[in-house]
Structure 1
Amino acid sequence: MITDTAPPPQFTHAQIRTIMLGVALAMFLATLDQTIIATALPAVAQDLGGWDEMAWVVTAYLIASTVTTPIYGRLSDLYGRRPVLLVCVCIFVAGSILAALSQSMPWLIAARVVQGLGGGGLRSVAIAVVSDILPPRERGKYQGYLSVTFATANVVGPVLGGVLSDSLSWHYIFWINLPLGALAFGMTWHQLRRLPLPKGKPVIDWLGAALILASTTPLLLGISAVQRTGSWTSPDSLAGFGIGIGFLVALILWEQRAPEPMLPIRLFANSVFALGSLVTLLTSIVMLALILIIPLHYQLLLGLPPGEAGVRLIAMTVGTVAGSFVAGQIITITGRTRIFPIAGCAMATLACALLAMLGLGHSLPVDLGLTLLLGLSFGGQMSPMTVALQNALDPRDAGIGLSCMMFFRLMGGAFGTAALIALLVGRLGDAGFGNGLALFQPHLRASMPPDQVRGMAAALAAAFAHVYWVSAGIMATATLAAFAIREIPLRAK
């Protein structure tokens, strides 16, 4: 049984910067591989065949990396951050090699599962390392750097995947992970040696780990089925949700009695953790869904090519990076975190409402201003929420607590993307366009009568407005939850 850890060593600013570089690189690798494949999928499918299995190349990594996130967090509490992070880097690089050598679509999908098994730990343990090397008062600016890394990888991924696929080969989107992974391994091996290891013999809650996998995997498969079919009531969706919820109930019942639970239910008795997790979940539902929906709005309603639509999203990325960086610096100076999720959620509510009322495409400055406001609102609360949760948790639960936060962020993104896109398609169906978004492709509109095109455009604009109003409602709920979070002074040690 784990008893305690030795007092953490003191690190110099130079050592902290080196550690943070390695940690940020690990997080960048895991996040990048969730999005880098997107623009290379057509080339992959053409080379390997199996167009009908193409979506599983993305889904396999998403599921494997998400369901293992809380497990790795708990293992790092039991065995220490460094050994777990090193194992995760090795698994991730091994999966990348298998993916680069793929000769068939099933081979690539299996390799993506291996990549995801490593990627889940890269993200969760990387965040927990910050709690080991810095007191809460100093964590804000460094968590800001990790939030910047997370946001940058989400946006750079599709661009880099397209460039490598076009100029070299899709295989290189996986080969590029080898030098980056080796660098992350070297930095972790050298710089984290001074971190103390937990004392005593760890007790692993294997049944809890199995129930986490058994509950979250069907839920993610159900969400994937919603994205694929556009229906929440399809047999695949209902089966996934039903099985997942059943195992979730079993997980909660077991973890309440387990001697060393893999997912300590006591965490949710901490109001800061419970409310912070809710705010994280709701914010992620909207943020990651709008990252996909806003470019879709530009392409389908305005007829912009994918490249130009992606460029217009840069304002949102810049806002996310700037908001996270500035918030982190202010936290370090003031020691206050509560105001940021309140202000961020309120700003996001306003931005979504303005999108619903004004739409996109009337004016480039207005479009950039609205998306910049969205980015600032999301970025300004990511690192403060992470710091607040770290500060509120017992040090022995730092790894699993932060992994749960990352888990809620990933689950929120997956659920929100499926839910809001399904809502968009459903509104089009209610307006008489039963074939959904396929009708709105530019090459099909060119052959239609002008009156029909205007009717379709009006229906599409109304459908997007409805999605933005729903997003505003979700963020308003997050604002209320953020108001209920109490301020706990940040520890200086």
Structure 2
Amino acid sequence: MRDTPAPLPPAPPVTFSEGEVRLIVMGLMLALFLSSLDQTIVATALSTIAGDLGGWSLMPWVVSAYLIASTVTTPIYGRLSDLYGRRPVLLASISLFALGAVCSALAPSMGALVAARALQGLGGGGLRAISLAVVGDILPPRERGRVQGYLSATFATANIGGPVLGGLFVEYLSWQWIFWINLPLGAAAFAATYFQLRRLPRPNKRPRIDWLGALLILLSCTPVLIGITLVQRAGHWAAPEAWGCFALGAVFLVWLIAQERVAPQPMLPLHLFGNGIFRMAIAVTGLASMVMMSLTVLVPLHYQMVGGLSAKDAGLRMIAMTLGSVTGSFLAGQAVTRTGRYRYLTLIGSSTATVMCLAIAWAGLGHSLALDTGATLLLGLAFGCQFSPITVTIQNAVDPRDGGIAVACMMFFRLMGGAFGVAILSALLLGRLPEHGAAADPAAAARAFSLVFLAAAGFAALCLVAALRLREIPLRGRD
């Protein structure tokens, strides 16, 4: 039987002034902006890139390579930051991200660009995971809620501005500037991290890294995400190569669980999943992400295929959902800080999302600007109420020494939930659409979208059930 070393002693608490907190949060927002921007800025330039480099068949993987690499490495970065400290791991993530950006800008072929995007994604996973974990190091749970609004605004700004910025670079400069822009932003994030996070505590004991566990995380998650990508490309769940990927991922997942049960310092501590609050919070964020990410993709299609709107008008009507999400996150964060309570916010968010999905399934979208704005604004507010309190909930429920991996797991399941949600509802939609799309039979298309929104309401209702089972404990303060 292997000797299990004593747990790492907790680092002495460090108190940061209000001015220091503001500077640190600004640096974290910049890091989050980098990782989020690169998910969207490439979309409007894909056809131009494929025209210059060739390899049209590889074009979808320019986006998928980044998403897969950044997702599967998220829990690994979270655990490494617990063992080595946030600052060195975040600096390494920024450096890796910048290196991937340089390789992407200089890529001579589409294959090389896909590989460079995967390298960039390896850094992007750390930017997301560690930035959220740092908030847990500088503020007690009771005071973290107010920061979530700023972080949510960063995500929304990157999502809205990414396609616009990418289109401007392609039109007035060149597609390579999509990647060159990351260098000055990365340098600023590196400088902010280097100087502002020097006082963060670091573990006092030399860690024993579970490298086999890290490898098994990659080997179990990567095939699943590739399988999801293949399902989305095929438009149905009958693709044998996708199920082969799922089976391969399941085999490595069993191996991962067996490894983490015996590892002295596991890369993925299984005791976290014995925490009921952690389990329910993960369920809430995963199911909420299934709904949000699916509707972010499918609502613009609904506007165009059923409502007859142009792509530009459909994009403009999505602003209400984005603003609602930012506003909901900010208000929910302020409410958590003021009241010290979080469970009622997840109940409000999940119940509102369920009702609005049912309403849209019945009435549809694209017929009235006022109704569309009101419905999608309420959906956005619901998502904000679900996501903003969950980070604080998880950090408050786990041992501070597991803060990094706990938040990274939350982000990982949020990303995986979104990927599964988009794949499930997209396949459901494509399976019910007429052979020639909405142009052949708009009424049939409307019925197909109605079924999709009913399915989304089902996922939102499951999220409500998880929120009802979420236990509330007092949020820790500075004492």
**TM-score class, shorter:** over 0.9
**Displacement of 1:42:** 1.1
**Displacement of 1:23:** 0.6
Partner of 1:448: none
Partner of 2:104: 99
Question: Alignment partner of 2:266: what SS?
Answer: coil
Partner of 1:459: 444
**Equivalences, count:** 473
Q: Please say if 1:187 is aligned against 2:192.
A: yes
Partner of 1:475: 460
Partner of 1:65: 70
C-alpha separation in 2, matches of 1:251 and 1:336: 35
Partner of 1:162: 167
State the AA in 2 paired with 1:465: S
C-alpha separation in 2, matches of 1:44 and 1:355: 37
Partner of 1:346: 351
Question: Alignment partner of 2:9: what SS?
Answer: coil
C-alpha separation in 2, matches of 1:230 and 1:27: 31
Question: Alignment partner of 2:263: what SS?
Answer: coil
What whole-Å deviation, never above 9, does each CA across 1:256-315 have from its counterpart, x for those lacking one? Answer: 221111001100111110000011111111101110101111122233222221111000
Partner of 1:378: 383
State the AA in 2 paired with 1:183: A
State the AA in 1 paired with 2:211: W
Contact 2:236–2:428, Cα closer than 8 Å, also in 1: no
Contact 1:275–1:485, Cα closer than 8 Å, also in 2: yes
> How do residues 223-372 of structure 1 correspond to structure 2 at under 5 angstroms?
223-372=228-377
What whole-Å deviation, never above 9, does each CA across 1:163-202 have from its counterpart, x for those lacking one? Answer: 2222222111111111110000000000000011101111
**Displacement of 1:21:** 0.5
Where do 4+ consecutive residues of structure 1 move more than 3 Å? none
C-alpha separation in 2, matches of 1:215 and 1:184: 31
State the AA in 1 paired with 2:451: H
What whole-Å deviation, never above 9, does each CA across 1:428-471 have from its counterpart, x for those lacking one? Answer: 2xxxx346xxx34xxxx4xxxxxxx4xx1001100011000000
| Aligned equivalent of 2:158, options 112, 130, 153 | 153
Contact 2:288–2:386, Cα closer than 8 Å, also in 1: no
Question: Alignment partner of 1:461: what SS?
Answer: helix
> How do residues 16-27 of structure 1 correspond to structure 2 at under 5 angstroms?
16-27=21-32
Runs of 5+ unmatched residues, structure 2: none
**Displacement of 1:250:** 1.4
C-alpha separation in 2, matches of 1:28 and 1:152: 8
Contact 1:80–1:196, Cα closer than 8 Å, also in 2: yes
Partner of 1:137: 142
C-alpha separation in 1, matches of 2:394 and 2:58: 39
Partner of 1:217: 222
**Displacement of 1:150:** 2.0
Contact 2:347–2:464, Cα closer than 8 Å, also in 1: yes
Partner of 2:125: 120
Partner of 1:449: none
Contact 1:390–1:398, Cα closer than 8 Å, also in 2: yes
C-alpha separation in 1, matches of 2:105 and 2:25: 28
**Displacement of 1:364:** 0.7
C-alpha separation in 2, matches of 1:303 and 1:366: 16
The worse-fitting range, judged by mean Cα deviation, of 158-167 and 324-333 is 158-167
C-alpha separation in 2, matches of 1:4 and 1:147: 33
The worse-fitting range, judged by mean Cα deviation, of 29-38 and 219-228 is 29-38
Runs of 5+ unmatched residues, structure 1: 446-452
State the AA in 2 paired with 1:293: L
C-alpha separation in 1, matches of 2:405 and 2:411: 10
Cα RMSD (Å) of the superposition? 1.1
Contact 1:9–1:194, Cα closer than 8 Å, also in 2: yes
TM-score by length of 1: 0.94
Contact 2:169–2:177, Cα closer than 8 Å, also in 1: yes
Contact 1:5–1:197, Cα closer than 8 Å, also in 2: no
Contact 1:8–1:133, Cα closer than 8 Å, also in 2: no
Question: Alignment partner of 2:264: what SS?
Answer: coil
**Displacement of 1:155:** 2.6
**Displacement of 1:416:** 1.0
Question: Alignment partner of 2:306: what SS?
Answer: helix
TM-score by length of 2: 0.97
C-alpha separation in 2, matches of 1:351 and 1:169: 42
What whole-Å deviation, never above 9, does each CA across 1:376-424 have from its counterpart, x for those lacking one? Answer: 0001221101111110010010000000000001111111111111110
